[in-house]
Amino acid sequence: MFEDRTKPRTEIKDLGEFGLIDYITGDIELTQESSEYGVGDDAAVINPSGKRILVSTDMLMEGVHFDLTYSPLKHLGYKAAVVNFSDIAAMNAVPTQITVSIALSNRFSLEAVEEFYVGLKLACKAYNVDIVGGDTTSSKAGLAISITVIGLIDEQDIVYRNGAKEGDLICVSGDLGAAYAGLLILEREKSVFSANPEMQPELEGSDYVLERQLKPEARVDIIKILKDSGIKPNAMMDVSDGLASEVKHICKQSKLGAAIYEDKLPIDQKTWDAARAFNMDPTMFALNGGDDYELLFTVPQSDFEKLKDIPEVSIIGYTTDKESGINLITKNNVSTPLEAQGWDGFDIKVNKENND
């Protein structure tokens, strides 16, 4: 569950809003040169030093984006930060600052909030990101989290979704579908627990896919690898809603079609094993699972020699003219329209763990 009931409980109302803010931000130290002033005044002060400022916001709602039955608050804090970092990486930049706002019901003690912030601060330390502000308030229904992330970048380095060119190679970092495999396992064990609270969860051997769901990482490392290799993508975005959905976004924005090869999709063996255990197709996991937070990008074919020896990047297809459509080339070499069944923020039946 979301709180260890064996530990003493401190009611948040005993501190009040400002006491809570002081408690959770008292140990924050600014490390970014661009962070001139952080928590403690009416607004943070950020000096971009001639760079462009990138800003993105995500809202995570309990019961829609996360389930506290199996999402530890420490992991949730880490993930809430990282999914925002991923949005900045998707623009070919690295995150520098965040603001964090939370709304809490009286179910949550001070210790529960502290656990959330432990994870949040761990993520910020790992990615060298400063917490420069935010807000806290009460909620009548569960936990709501809103994070705004800021990144700095030189104008000529920004990569948008709409820059793909016909004939570009379509690439993706890491592997796909593991987060969805982890979600299915967690949902299965939740159902078992609901039916019989005495049953122990069967999680052995699922560490990799569970971590990809509960504690994902933003691929800011890929930004550096590409830059060091002399590669600037023409278009890029992160894979939060499922690969098929993201390919369609890039194609729509760039007014292009695409051909994606099923046998080129990077799927980890543990994801394959999980899919087979559920009698499901691993390809579906990769195309529509979501929550992977890998980077999808296109590059000119002239960059092939630079790309082919980067182990963290897979070439999965190429862009075509718009009239050719967006197609999946199956393992049997059959071309079929690529179907996207990923996350819709207003249809929580699809996959409540994903977010954009």
Per-residue pLDDT tens over the stretch 242-264: 999 999 999 999 999 999 999 99
Same domain, yes or no: 52 and 171? no
Structural domain includes residue 103: yes
**Structure-token match 């502000």, residue found:** 133
Averaged over 106-124, what is the pLDDT? 93
Query: DSSP secondary-structure letter at 168?
Result: P
Q: Which of 166, 343, 157, 337 is nearest to 251 (CA)?
A: 166
pLDDT given at position 3 = 47
With respect to residue 355, please indicate whether it lies within any of the assigned structural domains.
Answer: no
User: Same structural domain for residues 190 and 321?
Assistant: yes
**Ranges 12-21, 33-42, 136-145, 241-250: which has the least confidence:** 12-21
Residues 141 and 186 in one domain: no
Owning domain of residue 201: 161-337
Q: Is there a single domain that holds both residue 317 and residue 201?
A: yes
Closest CA to 275 of 172, 173, 171, 179: 179
Residue 224 phi, psi (nearest 5): -70, -40
pTM of the predicted structure, to 2 decimals: 0.88
Largest CA distance in the chain: 65
More confident residue, 157 or 201: 157
In a domain, 1, yes or no: no
Gyration radius from the chain CA atoms:
21
Choose among 75, 185, 347, 344: nearest CA to 355.
Answer: 344
Give the model confidence (pLDDT) of 314-356 as tens digits.
Answer: 999 999 999 999 999 999 999 999 998 754 544 544 344 444 4
Query: At residue 261, what are phi and psi to the nearest 5 degrees?
Result: -95, 120
CA separation for the pair 225, 205 (Å, rounded): 31
End residue of a domain, out of 133, 157, 181: 157
